[in-house]
Amino acid sequence: MGIPEDVLRNLYENMMDAFAGVDMSGRIMMCNGIFCDMLGYSREELLSMSYTDFTPEVWHQIEADIVREQVLVRGYSDIYEKEYRRRDGVIFPVELRTCLHRDTTGTPSGMWAIVRDISERKRLEEALRDSEERYRAVVEDQTEVICRFLADGTIIFVNDVFCRFFGKTREELVGNKWQPKAFEPDVLLVEEKLRELSPENPLIVIENRAYSGLGHLHWMQFVNRGFFDQEGKLVEIQSVGRDITERRRAEQHLALLIFALNKVHEEAYLFDDTANLLYVNEEACRALAYSHEELLGFCLADINSGFQPEKWPEQWRKLVNQGVLTCESNHQTRDGHEYPVEVNISFFEYDGSGYGLYLARDITGRKRAEEERLETERRLQQAKKMESLGVLVGGIAHEFNNRLMVILGNLNLALKKLPAGSEVRDWLSRAELASQRAVPLIRQMLAYAGKGLHLQTESDLNGIIFEYADLFRSSIVGSSTLTIHTAPALPTIHADREQIQQVIINLITNAAEAMNTAPGEITLSTGVMDCDQTLLARNIIDEIPPPGRFVYLEVSDTGCGMDEETKRRLLEPFFTTKFPGRGLGMSAVMGIVRMHRGVILLESKPGGGTTFRVLLPANTSAESSQEVRPEPTKPDYP
């Protein structure tokens, strides 16, 4: 979402008065150029100061009482007067109203004020007391409307500005009881405020709406000073008024902009050419888990983990030249968590200085969806590839098996016809033995293609392992040792016992070959676990079964491990890293596990060994349990 540049400029440009904001400790958080000029400090100097630094000490307790008794109670103060000290040491009077800002929890988080230098008005009031004639000469040159009237409302003086603004002549007003036409809802407020005038409280500032002589409704600010006799009786009121319609509009723009930025679902930051944060919205505080005050002490480098301070001058020039920059980056929360964001930065100028509006949108969900889409596409492509290979391998194995059966059949018939001592008989026997050794190769090819003969029955995985334990140990080449750990009381599985035996042998053989000829340890273990969709999604086979309870067999080794390329191609038929090797062992494992609607989980890294965990759906029917079984252990696969 973009914020129109002209709306941003209205934050300060429409203000005819000085503007400043402080946190609850009094530290200056923002100010406009008029405020800087008023005090003679630069903006950077003021942002490192507290308001007490340029407020004479005599006002410290008075202003603290105003904050406690008015601002914190009702959210704003009456308009009041105080003094400031300029950089050059000159003390001058100002008039201001302080308003409270609360965060989303309702906790006070700062205050802001519209401030006006009233040195000229003070000099004017002094002149009024000195000489009526001098007073008249001065007030006629002012832009404010000025009126003096007695306690009963009789007007005794008006200036030309007053007459022009309200469309009256001096003759019509002086000596008569006339009041500007106030906006009806404000009449009672004006009357109540004027009744508060007293010798102890001779100055009352009233802001109300009034109609001009042309019938236009204006916001006016009247500074009303009462003059009393020695007995404390009100004798005269002097009212100096100023059209504050533009100021009110600017305040409304400011309030509207802050309200709007706090309602958007994007983080919003205002920063200067040094990358220091000048404003943050509520969403930014929520997303980063910092308070408003904390963030205003930060720069972009504190929230954006990709920010490079040494490249900032170049990035700032690029922003100034292009006006708008869009990119993706990462934000960092208070606890160090990083999340991806899409950033839109707009450049604008105000009062001769450049600023940036930084809008950030959390794209964690979009990134996750994109990753899931890419993973789905990868799995689909892999599935198509493996399906094509399966068709090819299955066809080859089928044709090869038919021809091999013919060869074996004829060799067998020939052997039966030859006499026992025939020299040809030895040759034919060796040919028959070689042909028979090709049968397991065909079975593995058919297993990979899912076309092998299999008979699934209710089986006990531990029983299969105990039955073929000696075979498993004899399949290990080299000096590696095999350790078997079986979990008690496993649920049964629907499985082809010979094919499960083949899976285990192939995995153990792979593990032994990973050790080369060096001594190593191979561990075969079993267990049961409940698997959710997240864990099953790590299946290196393309199909993902539904969540549920699975019995697993695990083969781990202390061998050389696998790199990413080897893991990616592991299940491809005829892919091998060993010489000599046919590259069908793991392909057959995949085909068998797929036929059993199982899952293969793999954990391996170069030099760190390899662990295969094969998950097979557990029988959940009551009759599959031979005894009361303990609760399965929680998944411990890393």
Which residues contact residue 259 at a Cβ distance below 8 angstroms, ignoring those fewer than 6 apart?
Answer: none
pLDDT at residue 591 in the model: 81
Contact predicate 469/485, CB 8 Å: no
CB atoms within 10 A of CB 341: 22
Judge if 420 and 478 occupy the same domain: no
Helix axes 585-595, 423-449, angle to 10 degrees: 50
Give a yes or no: residue 313 inside a domain.
no
CB atoms within 10 A of CB 518: 12
Domain-ending residue, one of 414, 449, 484: 449
Mean pLDDT of 496-510: 87
Judge if 79 and 204 occupy the same domain: no
How far are the Cα atoms of 67, 96, 554 from residue 62, in angstroms, in the given order?
9, 14, 78
Residue 5 has pLDDT above 50, yes or no: no
Residue 545 has pLDDT above 70, yes or no: yes
Which residue has 């914020």 as its token pair? 3
Mean pLDDT of 30-58: 92
Quote the radius of gyration of the chain (alpha carbons, Å): 44
Distance CA 523, CA 377 (A): 35
Which residues contact residue 409 at a Cβ distance below 8 angstroms, ignoring those fewer than 6 apart?
Answer: none
Burial of 588 (0-12, 13-18, 19+ CB in 10 A): buried
Q: What distance lies between CA 487 and its chain's CA centroid?
A: 44
Contact predicate 179/208, CB 8 Å: no
Judge if 475 and 561 occupy the same domain: yes
Helix axes 497-514, 423-449, angle to 10 degrees: 100
pTM of the model: 0.39
Judge if 519 and 409 occupy the same domain: no
Q: Which of 60-69, 375-384, 422-431, 445-454 has the lowest mean pLDDT?
A: 445-454
155-158 vs 145-150, strand pairing mode: antiparallel
Domain-ending residue, one of 449, 483, 513: 449
Give a yes or no: residue 5 inside a domain.
yes
pLDDT in tens, 147-179: 999 988 899 998 888 999 999 998 999 999 888
For the chain, how many residues are written?
A: 638
Greatest CA span in the chain, whole angstroms?
154
Q: Cis (ω within 30 of 0) for the bond into 313?
A: no
Judge if 492 and 565 occupy the same domain: yes
Mean pLDDT of 256-261: 76
Amino acid code (one letter) for 22: V
Give a yes or no: residue 326 inside a domain.
no
Judge if 208 and 91 occupy the same domain: no
Q: Identify the residue with better confidence: 475 or 210.
A: 210
CB atoms within 10 A of CB 554: 20
Instruction: Say which CATH number the domain at 158 has.
Output: 3.30.450.20
Burial 247-259 (b: 16+ CB within 10 A, else e): bbebbebbeebbe
Residue by residue, what is the 3-state secondary structure of 200-229?
CCCEEEEEEEEECCCCCEEEEEEEEEEEEC
Distance CA 340, CA 332 (A): 9
3-state secondary structure of 398: helix
Give a yes or no: residue 285 inside a domain.
no
Residue 30, strand partner residues: 21
Tally of structural domains, the chain: 4
pLDDT at residue 428 in the model: 80
Return the sign of the alpha-carbon dihedral for residues 407, 409, 413, 416.
positive
Judge if 92 and 132 occupy the same domain: no
Distance CA 372, CA 612 (A): 24
pLDDT at residue 585 in the model: 74
Judge if 389 and 526 occupy the same domain: no
Distance CA 477, CA 508 (A): 10
3-state secondary structure of 567: helix
Torsion from C-alpha of 269, 272, 275, 278, nearest 10 degrees: -40
Judge if 106 and 129 occupy the same domain: no
Judge if 154 and 197 occupy the same domain: yes
For residue 529, give its domain range. Answer: 457-624
CB atoms within 10 A of CB 284: 24
Residue 324, strand partner residues: 346
Q: How does residue 451 score in pLDDT terms, banded at 50, 70 and 90? A: low
Per DSSP, 310 falls in state G
Mean pLDDT of the chain: 83
Judge if 6 and 87 occupy the same domain: yes
